[in-house]
Structure 1
Amino acid sequence: MSSSRRPVVRVLAVAAWSLLAAIAGLIAIFQNTPMLNQSMLASSVDLEPAKMKPWGGLAYSHPSIWFGLGDNERSIRSGIVLSENGVELPQSKSLHADIRDRGAGAWSHWNRVILFST
């Protein structure tokens, strides 16, 4: 290989590794890994009442696209904390039937939806 082509190959290799690192960082953020929960990106977000929809019984849903993926069948676990008036709701990861039927502040972050009860 000629010496004039070596700098081009090095630049391409650095660019490829940089792109791979950027993609891995975005995946980590949007998959809600501990990286999100331990970084300065973790913050408080108010749920928008206009986006809350009845889900049946005592349950309501709210899209959670900005919170990363919640619990799901691929063993991803949500790290969000849901609070009401500054008080943490302790019944996270509740069964969806319990959220719908029993209420009492039960909630779940499942895939890209937060299910919560009154």
Structure 2
Amino acid sequence: MRVLHVFTQARLERVRDELAGDADTALSPDEAATHVEPVRAVASELCTPLRQCGTTMDVTGCVGEDVSREFGAKPVFVGGRRRSPVGKGRKGSTAQRVLLDAPCPVTFVRDPA
């Protein structure tokens, strides 16, 4: 199983800035994804049940939008938060693009916050 976190370039840079401190090397998208709280929460919840079923989980981070095709994902579970139409129009919505463009079943999971 793969937990995939999709960053915009700007969001990846913010996460890198928050985590880097005085580090000379930038974190890869994979490394940055392991520090994003929703990803950590999903990984924590799924780790034991997956291990009991004899499978493992990888956390992957990437920058882009067409991830369902790029990673051959099926089915896809998309996490997101409630945003106003103006917020979506101004900033875009990766979750919405995945919901509309994925070539496979997509389940949207709303962030409770």
- Give the alignment's TM-score, normalised by structure 1: 0.23
Q: Greater helix percent: which structure?
A: 2
Of structures 1 and 2, the larger Rg is shown by 1
- Give the alignment's TM-score, normalised by structure 2: 0.24
